[in-house]
Amino acid sequence: MFYIINKNKNKNFNLNDGIRASEIRLVGNDGSKIIKTKEALALARENNLDLVAVSPSAKPPVCKIMDYKKFVYDKSKKEKEAKKKQSITQIKEIRLSATIEENDISIKAKNAKKFIAKENKVKVSMRFRGRQNNYKSLGKKVFDTFLDKMGDIVVVEKSPKFEGNTMTMVIGPKKN
């Protein structure tokens, strides 16, 4: 067995002497043409640039003459910009009970508002135990009170729903 080892430090693209095909499709501003690899390498060296295999799996491989270091630098800048713009939404859970007092609902709503202000979602849950399962209507009233305390800054993404002995709903920030 023998292995072809890519001597280039890059992982994504074959460069210069790493291109093993005898003929390539050279793509440039003036269109594309099929030429010998040695001719393309000579053109690249003449201009002090690199011959980069953009699509090495094509028949013949598609290559481009460019400054590889600048290409990698621009690519990393674009990836950093994309990473800055992406936002990760978190979900915080707030637990209520069927027998919770009005003041406690206000405190939990205040904490949920802080989290909603950071563009995150809140999962509100209520567990019914024992005899409380007979009074599930109390749970709906508590959820309605909680939503009234939250005001109009939230939108209900998942309405109150029973799953076993737990009632849950998900609220998120209102989109402008």
Radius of gyration of the chain (CA): 31
Lowest mean per-residue pLDDT among 52-61, 75-84, 112-121 = 52-61
pTM equals 0.53
Q: What is the mean pLDDT of the chain?
A: 83
Taking 80 as the threshold, does the pLDDT of residue 9 lie above it?
no
pLDDT in the model for residue 12: 65
Alpha carbon separation from 81 to 68, 74, 77, 78, 164 (Å, rounded): 20, 11, 6, 5, 44
5 membership: H or E segment, kind and range:
none
Instruction: Give the residue-averaged pLDDT of 27-39.
Output: 82
72 vs 76: CA distance, rounded Å: 6
Instruction: Give the residue-averaged pLDDT of 147-153.
Output: 89
Taking 70 as the threshold, does the pLDDT of residue 11 lie above it?
no
Taking 80 as the threshold, does the pLDDT of residue 17 lie above it?
no
Percent of the chain with pLDDT over 90: 26
45 vs 48: CA distance, rounded Å: 5
Instruction: Give the residue-averaged pLDDT of 19-48.
Output: 83
Sheet holding 154-163, edge to edge: 91-96, 121-127, 166-173, 154-163
Instruction: Give the residue-averaged pLDDT of 117-140.
Output: 86
146 vs 168: CA distance, rounded Å: 13
- Across 147-167, b (16+ Cβ under 10 Å) vs e yields bebbeeebeeeeebeeeeeeb
Set out the domains of the chain in order of their start, with CATH numbers: 14-82 (3.10.20.80), 91-173 (3.30.110.10)
